[in-house]
Amino acid sequence: MSGDHHGSSAISERVRHVEALLEARGLVDEGEIDRRIDEFLAGGSPANGARITARAWTDPEFRDRLLADANAAIREVGLSMAGGLQEQRLKVVANSAEEHNVVVCTLCSCYPIALLGPSPAWYKSEAYRSRVVRDPRGVLAEFGLDLPPTTRISVWDASAESRYMVVPRRPEGTDGMSEEQLAGLVTRKGLIGTAAV
């Protein structure tokens, strides 16, 4: 057995112990924690982030509120970052012609599951987590996103307390599209910043 297995086994034992204590003290019903986690994961989808992006593209006032206080703004569309005992802070950043944003969690894989669904394997990989900070332009090129040399790249490092989401630039020629049609153009990679829309 590897050391990693022992570490995860020890953590699993501690988690089970805390769950048993919470149940014994009547703070949660048996199985309640697993049910809440399942409900949270079931509701998490890139479609949520796409819907927020489409609203930001079509409603400048919503966009301003989203960039100023994302947690409050997403409640306007029936979403939240409450996935546990407390709400995680969400910061939304918007791409422009001058600046491109990309999200990473250098320590582990913190990520806004409620808005983007479960994180892709590459987001959790050591290669992405370490390289995107050192060479964001090179990593983005590997994803097929070649930005002009004049475009500034900002890398946002998520944490246990804070999550980030990118509002990609709205594609040209989409003025007549509905919010629903616009949302259909947005991908999870676009919401992380590793692709354009």
pLDDT above 70 covers what percent of the chain? 85
Catalytic residue among 45, 80, 109, 162: 109
105 is in an annotated binding site: yes
Fold of 46-192: Nitrile Hydratase; Chain A (3.90.330)
108 is in an annotated binding site: yes
Any catalytic annotation for residue 110?
yes
> Scanning the structure block, which residue is given the tokens 């206080």?
69
Any catalytic annotation for residue 105?
yes
Q: Are 102 and 140 in contact (CB under 8 A)?
A: yes
Q: Are 158 and 103 in contact (CB under 8 A)?
A: yes
pTM of the model: 0.78
2 is in an annotated binding site: no
Q: What is the mean pLDDT of the chain?
A: 87
**pLDDT level of residue 36 (50, 70, 90 thresholds):** low
Catalytic residue among 8, 12, 96, 108: 108
Poorest-confidence range of 7-16, 17-26, 122-131? 7-16
Q: Which token pair is 33? A: 């924690």
Residues 14-42 have a mean pLDDT of 70
The domain locations on the chain are 3-30, 46-192
Backbone angles phi, psi at 100, to 5 degrees: -120, 135
Any catalytic annotation for residue 125?
no
130 is in an annotated binding site: no
